[in-house]
Structure 1
């Protein structure tokens, strides 16, 4: 069997039609899988030493979330370094990155593998990978025919990258900065409609100098949003300075923000710059902004209004040029109404509000994120393979993830450790039962709300009463270990401390 001219022409036409680049790429690899009769095909984009799947067919649904660093995958490194088609022998000793990731063949290894590097001029931009369980799968196709496929795919991918660059280019942003933002370690994984909307909003606000208030539940990835805004802004070459307001003791909070001079207070043995000075001409990210005291809120408001700061113990002022990004898991509108947050500061910070959706509202991203964390965990644990069984994928999809992306990340790493210990091999398969949260060998109980009729009280009082009871019972179960109690309640330990303080438990 060979590739006819008509078939190649059909593929070329399909690559020029379609609603989006994603649609075209998906049609390309689906067509290739059908024509070449292979078990899996994938189009990968190369960026910063790693291949990122753009479209796959015949592979596990978590594969598009994985990022394959070529330094950790010898076959992909061979493709990246080759200037031409790579045909791996059926008995190749090099591990295949897709072993265990072809549904229906989880326990088998790929036998036929062809890699087609894709170039724009002399620059590697991606690869096509073709895999099959039959070792003779691609013997009937000549190198010339496969090269034609590579040329067609490379042209389509290069056009997509150029269009993407033009769409995101601004006279205020250098193209290399935009590329750096996309390839950063803190990548925002997700293709669901809520995530697409969030990414579009970030692209709109990033080139401006507006302050941004980022709201969302604990564990949704608010810091990643702040980083994406900074890296997509004209300030990207300057510092992004981070400050967790919840971790600031009241006695040093003002010094942390604005700095101090020698002798300003006991222990001030030298002049010290605050976070605003460190972020001059850059961006200051104030995490958990709702935890700032009212006096500090007033001082922060002055900086936002007039652009000058005053070090503790210093009578003179310093001018700073800082863009402020703030994040909170509280409802600041309610905090303003109840007098715990200044209305004028809220309006200064929320010039452009962004809401990071919880994972349960973008459930289709769960498996992509799971694949991303699996690949990270595989590298950290030194495993040759870490894959999710169909049962594990179904389990992850069914769960609501109250701890959001952070909980999912921790669950993957915990399950990988359990599975590695149980299976005793570097080729680990995660099953549904590996995700049971266990403490000392037992399922961790979570207290249930009281049964029976509810007393006549307003919703806020009833909620607070239940929270107090639940926290007390959980603390008792875990011998007043706050970290263990936070894990049982599936919340962040710092948030648990703050909630307990608000409820009068501390």
Structure 2
């Protein structure tokens, strides 16, 4: 039925009313969802050649963590390029990105679907998508009515984003050029209170030139924090150079940091710039700084104090302008007490400390991250539709994740591989049995024990499990050992030897 004047007026008022609150996007999408009687509705922001959900209704919660690249989703590409209302035919051949993501409605092969691109001037800001299981749900609404709703939503979205920018920090923010290559800089996914606090702290310190020490357990995403600091700094147009101090042999550590001249030592066949020179004008990220040898800590301290350095084998001083961001998963205060880390260097590095929370502290962020990794995994493995069942989400929320976000990413990849091997069509759904989470305190209703399995020694059971697991991985990787090794995260040579030992080869 056509939109009444009362509905349009109420829609306009409600969209503007909630702009100053945290739930402004949820309010907007909730009104539209109810007004059009949708089964699934989403408000998405367009950035970096992708659509990022800002608010959803009727969709699985992990959708909020997904990033829909338009080159991987034809419907979103059509919306981005249309410039006007897009009505997809009920039996469109274009795959729907929400297939399997609407609870209780796993298949969207025939349904009503509308895409409304949201513009500010000539700039595409985002999109509004309306989906309904009934194929004729939106046939009573004219394009003019839909354009009017899109115009209201675009204005509200633009105002909300401006207010959001002002709310982030009173510190002047200098925007940096962002690449369209998602491999260069990754996003910090999460809406938990601890992540919101971390983002605010990053926004405060990023525009300054203060040294920052990032602490946190292994796998929490300290490198993402360092990238965010660099991107929001005045040095964003300059490089951020990475150095892992834990993987730095002491014999070449000084050369890696400060460079060397030809003939400085055996093997120095030409002059070579060190990481400090490469980072001149930009940022040097020293990961695992607690592993840096004591002999080098004194030389690093001098560079931090005076901004000059010497290449190995050279007397001439070089001046550099470098901001230091360091990261560690050890307690540097305790290292200072133990004498393995210099006190003066610690205080130089920790001018502004940032702590990255564990995944267990982030609560529902686990589901968002699962969605984010699922979308990435779907593209990598060529899976048409990849969803996470509610039982699997419960399992993920119940697990304590000692390896943090990195462990979750690997768990999603392995589960997707297993689920893909079992799937009978292009719709792959992750279930609890696809995950191997040691020590998981899973809810009782999602734990299963196969009582038909004959009892045997623990050693034999382990060997049988390894054999079955590798075979499933091998079949899921198109019977290619190299791909199988990458999925299992094992050296190909070791995998071949293990396969022979288990009688697979």
| Aligned partner of residue 72 in structure 1, secondary structure | coil
Q: Does 1:344 align with 2:344?
A: yes
Whether the 8 Å contact between 1:202 and 1:228 is mirrored in structure 2 is yes
The root-mean-square deviation of aligned C-alpha atoms, in Å, is 2.5
**Are the structure 2 counterparts of residues 110 and 354 from structure 1 closer, same or farther at C-alpha, using a change threshold of 3 Å?**
farther
SS at match of 2:260: coil
Provide the rounded CA distance (Å) in 2 between the counterparts of 1:74 and 1:58.
Answer: 22
Query: 1:12–1:213: structure 2 CA closer, same or farther, 3 Å change rule?
Result: same
SS class of match (1:161) = helix
Which residue is 2:37 aligned to?
37
User: 1:493 maps to which residue?
Assistant: none
Deviates more, 1:167-176 or 1:279-288: 167-176
Q: How does 1:377-392 map to 2 (within 5 A)?
A: 377-392=377-392
Q: CA distance change for structure 1 residues 416 and 144 in 2, over 3 Å: closer, same or farther?
A: same
Equivalent residue runs for 1:15-164 within 5 Å:
15-18=15-18, 20=20, 22-109=22-109, 111-164=111-164
Q: How does 1:10-409 map to 2 (within 5 A)?
A: 10-18=10-18, 20=20, 22-109=22-109, 111-166=111-166, 174-177=174-177, 185-409=185-409
- SS of equivalent to 1:442: helix
Task: Give the 3-state SS of the residue equivalent to 2:71 in structure 1.
Answer: helix
Aligned equivalent of 2:452: none
User: C-alpha offsets along residues 444-463 of structure 1, whole Å, 9 cap, x if unaligned?
Assistant: 9xxxxxxxxxxxxxxxxxxx
- TM-score w.r.t. the length of structure 1 is 0.84
Counterpart CA distance in 2 for 1:187 and 1:193 is 17
In structure 2, C-alpha distance between the alignment counterparts of 1:208 and 1:178, rounded to whole Å = 19
Q: Report the CA distance between 1:35 and its aligned residue.
A: 1.6
Q: Distance in 1 between matches of 2:10 and 2:247?
A: 60
Q: Is the 8 Å Cα contact of residues 169 and 175 (structure 1) preserved in structure 2?
A: no
Q: Does 1:431 align with 2:431?
A: yes
CA contact (8 A) 1:389 1:431 kept: yes
- Sort the Cα spacing of 1:283 and 1:65 in 2 relative to 1 into closer, same or farther, 3 A: same
In the alignment, the residues of structure 1 paired with residue 203 and residue 85 of structure 2 have an alpha-carbon distance, to the nearest angstrom, of 37
Q: Distance in 2 between matches of 1:110 and 1:358?
A: 42
2:502 aligns with none
Helix, strand or coil: the match of 1:175? Answer: coil
Retained in 1: the 8 A contact 2:45–2:54? yes
- SS of 1:378's partner is helix
* Secondary structure at 1:201 match in 2: helix
Counterpart position of 1:498 = none
- Secondary structure, counterpart of 1:56 in structure 2: strand
Whole-angstrom CA distance in 2 between matches of 1:244 and 1:424: 44
Deviation at 1:106, TM superposition (A): 2.2
- Check whether the contact 1:172–1:234 (CA below 8 A) recurs between aligned residues: no
Query: How many residue pairs get matched?
Result: 449
Report deviation, 1:424. Answer: 4.7
Q: 1:212–1:350: 8 Å Cα contact kept in structure 2?
A: yes
Question: Does the C-alpha gap of structure 1 residues 273 and 60 become closer, same or farther in structure 2, counting only changes over 3 Å?
Answer: same
Residue deviations 1:83-127 (CA, integer Å, cap 9, x gap): 211111111111110011001112454611011111111111111
Measure, in 2, the Cα distance between the counterparts of 1:356 and 1:275: 25
Q: CA deviation at 1:185?
A: 3.6
Describe the shift of the 1:77–1:366 C-alpha distance in structure 2 as closer, same or farther (beyond 3 A). same
Please give the alpha-carbon distance, in whole angstroms, between the structure 2 residues aligned to 1:43 and 1:440.
49
Bigger drift between 71-80 and 191-200 goes to 71-80
For structure 1, the 5+ residue unaligned runs are 445-482, 489-506
Q: Hey, what's the Cα distance between the residues in 2 that align with 1:183 and 1:250?
A: 31
**SS of residue in 2 equivalent to 1:394:** helix
Q: Would you say the 8 A contact 1:245–1:287 is kept in 2?
A: yes
Partners of 1:190 and 1:365 within 8 A in 2: yes
CA distance, structure 1, for counterparts of residue 185 and residue 110 of structure 2:
30
The CA distance in 1 between the partners of 2:192 and 2:165, in whole Å, is 22
Contact 2:85 2:147 (8 Å CA) reproduced: yes
- Is contact 1:181–1:228 with CA below 8 Å preserved after alignment? no
- Unaligned residue ranges in structure 2 (runs of 5+): 439-461, 468-484, 491-505
1:470 maps to none
